[in-house]
Structure 1
Amino acid sequence: MCDHHDHGGHGHGACAAEHTGDDVERGVQYSLYLRIDLDHLECLNEDVEGSGRKVFKAWEDRHQRDVYAESADDAELLFNIPFTGNVKLKGIIVSGEDGDSHPASMRLYKNRPEMGFDDMSLPPDQEFELMKDPIGELEYGVKIVKFATVHHLTIHFKRNFGADTTRIYYIGLRGEFTAARREEIVIANYELKPNPCDTKLKEMTLSSNFVQ
């Protein structure tokens, strides 16, 4: 596995997958799609409602061409992706057509739920120039330190290679998942002065324990 990072925050930052690697192992590494809260995933400017959810799928299904997300009015697509826990994101693969509809740029924002196109003036946490990848083999390595604790990921595809609309077949996310833990709130009541009644009751209770 190539773990090439884009330290400058902008650029290609991609590497080809190692063909000698075990494909089953790659499938395990790219299983973060199982940790997405699909019921609350949002894809803005999708031509068909709900199609954006379908590009997050199993590694072995990345070559399917009957399931895809396509933009409606222009080339932009915006994915708001909530996770069911915390993710340490390490790499992303984006697969589209071997043509002008393939996305040409990708911007990442972490932990900013419900972003819209009006929010895209904000600087991204990382940005990539993409290459055409119809077979789903080029991984874009993210800044692991910056994306070490991610509960929500926004991916913005601003432009493609010149087509009127953008089409995406597969988005693969590689990383580590940690289930969210519910914090137990313990409320402690402190009294500045002891209550004489409480003290007497405790003494009575203590004495009763020794009654034969």
Structure 2
Amino acid sequence: MAHGHSHGGGCSCGAERTEAPERGLEYGLFRRIDLDKLECLNEKSEGSGKSVFRAWEDRGDRSKFVESDDDAELLFNIPFTGNVKLKGVILIGEDSAAHPAEMRLFKNIPHMSFDDTGREADQVFSLNVDVAGELEYPTKITRFSNISHLSIHISKNFGAENTKICYIGLRGEWTEAQRHEVVICNYEAAANPADHKVSQNPVTHFIS
């Protein structure tokens, strides 16, 4: 394929075997997806879009895949359970015209629809056929350093009527969402009318 592959001194096969455990950790962001709220628009089989987000070591399982329905487009709305710094994406498809040809990323736009995809994407990738997870598409980290929601728009494939994806891997870092500040602000606002009592016994006064 266009990415090139040989079994000479620069062979990636051995390197992949050596680095597999570490790489599996790097592609662990699937554990930080709120799968109950993940949406895949235009999927032929309901719920199949969720199945392509799984462990790195299971990326070769071709029994799990998502296929588009009415046309070649797919749209994934992916909410995370905290804040994510997204560093790279890997996409595995079929060795056919059904493989995605373009991937468009949008950050922090929950519940996107196809009507929303006309806006400018945060990053666009032209894809090569990848059936083994050998190609990583690095993101512009400055744009994806603090996201709670990621939308992936597959806008076209290589000419087939429908698109088929077997695996999507997300590499990056996750941090817990900082929600305690909101709690503190609400607490202080509620306590203001009786500051002197709160300073003596804030918990008792708040409950009563």
CA distance in 2, matches of 1:41, 1:48: 14
**Alpha-carbon displacement from aligned partner over 1:142-189 (angstroms, at most 9, x marks no partner):** 000110001000000010001110000000000000011322222252
**Higher mean displacement: 80-89 or 182-191:** 182-191
What RMSD in Å do the two structures reach over aligned CA positions?
2.4
Alignment-derived partner of residue 192 in structure 2:
189
Alignment-derived partner of residue 56 in structure 1:
53
CA distance in 1, matches of 2:113, 2:4: 30
Q: Flag as ranges the 4+ runs of structure 1 deviating above 6 A.
A: 14-17
Distance 1:34 1:140, change over 3 A: same
CA distance in 2, matches of 1:83, 1:155: 13
**Alpha-carbon displacement from aligned partner over 1:15-58 (angstroms, at most 9, x marks no partner):** 99954241011100000000000000000000000000000000
Letter in 2 for 1:160: N
CA distance in 1, matches of 2:93, 2:179: 39
Letter in 1 for 2:141: I
**Residues 42 and 80 in structure 1, CA contact (< 8 A), matched pair in contact too:** yes
Instruction: Using structure 2 for the length normalisation, give the TM-score.
Output: 0.82
> Whose helix proportion is higher, 1 or 2?
2
Q: Does 1:177 align with 2:201?
A: no
Letter in 2 for 1:60: E
Tell which structure's C-alpha radius of gyration is larger: 1
Q: Does 1:101 align with 2:104?
A: no
Instruction: Using structure 1 for the length normalisation, give the TM-score.
Output: 0.80
- 1:1-12 to 2 correspondence within 5 Å? none
Q: Does 1:37 align with 2:40?
A: no
Letter in 2 for 1:174: R
Alignment-derived partner of residue 82 in structure 1:
79
Gapped regions of structure 1 (runs ≥ 5):
1-11, 199-212
Gapped regions of structure 2 (runs ≥ 5):
6-10, 198-208
Letter in 1 for 2:49: G
Report the count of equivalent residues: 182
Given candidates 114, 118, 122, the residue that maps to 1:117 is 114
